[in-house]
Amino acid sequence: MPDRRAFKLLSWFERDRAHVQLVDAATEGRCIVEWWDEEVTQAIEDGFLDRHDLLGSALAYAASVGLIPEDLR
């Protein structure tokens, strides 16, 4: 599992809008993975995102599909 300190989770939820984005903490701009609106809802329903641990679950998902660069593992 990647070191949680190397990443930052940006998220917001407002009425029918939602955004969850995992970024490299060192650059705060290098997007690793992101979900918008219905994608957020679907990822939660499918078990890829855990509403109670968005950072941990986003990291686990990104690592499982090879989105975490080798230098950040």
Report pTM: 0.87
Q: Evaluate whether residue 55 is within a structural domain.
A: yes
Owning domain of residue 41: 4-65
CA dist list (Å): 19 to 34, 51, 64, 67 = 7, 12, 21, 18
Q: Evaluate whether residue 30 is within a structural domain.
A: yes
- Token readout for 67 is 């989105």
Q: What is the pLDDT of residues 17-64, one digit of tens each?
A: 999 999 999 886 789 999 999 999 999 999 999 999 999 999 999 999
Q: Evaluate whether residue 70 is within a structural domain.
A: no
How large is the greatest C-alpha to C-alpha distance in the chain, in angstroms? 37
Say how many domains are in the chain: 1
DSSP 59: H
Q: Evaluate whether residue 71 is within a structural domain.
A: no
Phi, psi values for residue 4, rounded to 5°: -60, -30
- How confident is the model at residue 27, as a pLDDT? 83
